[in-house]
């Protein structure tokens, strides 16, 4: 029986057929010519090495938790993130399960000077061109769902367009695929996308494995809600943290970011 991740990818493929008819690749390539130069995610994550780097995520809902925030306003959320210390923004653009839209990415691009990650379920070259055309500086690839050749091909196309790819892993087999594909921006997702369960032991296992390859930049994803967790994973070697739910559900995004960044005296892992 298909799991939720299989269903999302299958529906994305059906949706993509219509998208290609409505916006042919030739049009998408034309849009790319109007985009500003790509912002360098590696430079962003390298600057001020002592400081915690947070990639703050904009997402309306999830298939596991439902709606995450009342009166969702992507531009207001983006502004709060940028003004209170996030160095990069992740924009969920999948519509059926997460309530996103590629046009949200475009709108955020207009107000954000920081790098933007397009987070979606990408398996087709068209989506890489589309990411660049709507203002992304990097895009997500999910190693669990892509074979080694797909992963390598999509990474190469991104590189040709000037885009980095955050390649997301969830287990040792994913990490081996990443090594073979020569990806060096690696996400370690503590959430099992087939059932929504979160386990921080995944990062505890995979961070040391990822660091066996010199030069990798590691992003710890999912399940991070407090400063103590960030400090633990920074000591293990994580370079940045992609945080969505705990920010989207916080009563005060500025206060939550302040706590996560270590700019207050709180060591609480509870949500603001």
Which domain does 194 fall in, by range?
4-33+40-260
User: C-alpha 158: how far from its chain's center?
Assistant: 15
For position 61, which CATH number holds?
3.20.20.70
Tell me which of 271 and 85 has the higher pLDDT: 85
- pLDDT score for 47: 77
User: Alpha carbon of 62 to those of 53, 65, 109, 127, 152: distances in Å?
Assistant: 24, 5, 23, 21, 28
Look at residue 269 and tell me if it is in a domain: no
Look at residue 265 and tell me if it is in a domain: no
Look at residue 270 and tell me if it is in a domain: no
- pLDDT score for 196: 87
| DSSP H or E stretch at residue 56 | strand 54-58
pLDDT band of residue 256 (cuts 50, 70, 90) is very high
pTM: 0.94
CA geometry: angle at 221 spanning 199 and 103, to 5°? 135
Look at residue 144 and tell me if it is in a domain: yes
Catalytic residue numbers read 57, 59, 119, 168, 189, 221-222
Structural domain total, the chain: 1
Look at residue 272 and tell me if it is in a domain: no
Look at residue 8 and tell me if it is in a domain: yes
pLDDT, tens digit, 9 for 90 and up, residues 86-133 = 999 999 999 999 999 999 999 999 999 999 999 999 999 999 999 999
Helix axes 25-32, 125-133, angle to 10 degrees: 40
**The pLDDT of residue 266 is above 50:** no
Can you tell me the distance from the alpha carbon of 242 to that of 224, in angstroms, rounded to the nearest whole number? 8
Kindly state the tokens that stand for 253. 């995004």
pLDDT, tens digit, 9 for 90 and up, residues 156-192 = 999 999 999 999 999 999 999 999 999 999 999 999 9
pLDDT, tens digit, 9 for 90 and up, residues 13-35 = 999 999 999 999 999 999 999 99
pLDDT, tens digit, 9 for 90 and up, residues 72-82 = 999 999 999 99
Percentage, residues of the chain above pLDDT 70: 96
Look at residue 267 and tell me if it is in a domain: no
Look at residue 219 and tell me if it is in a domain: yes
């Amino acid at each position: 029986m298909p799991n939720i991740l299989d269903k999302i990818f299958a529906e994305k493929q059906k949706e993509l057929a219509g998208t290609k008819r409505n916006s042919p690749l030739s049009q998408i390539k034309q849009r790319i010519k109007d985009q500003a130069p790509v912002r360098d995610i590696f430079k962003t994550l390298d600057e001020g090495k002592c400081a915690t780097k947070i990639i703050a995520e904009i997402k309306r809902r999830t298939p596991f938790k439902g709606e995450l925030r009342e009166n969702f306003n992507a531009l207001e959320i983006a502004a709060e993130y940028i003004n209170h210390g996030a160095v990069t923004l992740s924009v969920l653009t999948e519509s059926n399960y997460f309530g996103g839209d590629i046009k949200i990415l475009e709108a955020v691009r207009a107000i954000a000077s920081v790098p933007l990650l397009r987070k979606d379920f990408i398996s087709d070259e068209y989506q890489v061109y589309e990411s660049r055309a709507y203002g992304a500086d990097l895009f997500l690839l999910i190693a669990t769902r892509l074979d080694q050749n797909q992963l390598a091909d999509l990474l190469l196309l991104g590189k040709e367009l000037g885009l980095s790819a955050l390649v997301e892993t969830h287990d040792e087999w994913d990490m081996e695929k990443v090594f073979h594909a020569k990806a060096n921006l690696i996400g370690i997702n503590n959430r099992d996308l087939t059932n929504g369960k979160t386990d921080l032991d995944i990062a505890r296992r995979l961070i040391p494995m990822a660091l066996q390859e010199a030069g990798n930049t590691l992003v710890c994803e999912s399940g991070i809600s407090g400063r103590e967790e960030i400090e633990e994973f920074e000591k293990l070697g994580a370079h940045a943290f992609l945080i969505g739910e705990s920010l989207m559900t916080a009563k005060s995004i500025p206060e939550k970011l302040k706590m996560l960044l270590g700019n207050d005296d709180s060591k609480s892992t509870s949500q603001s």
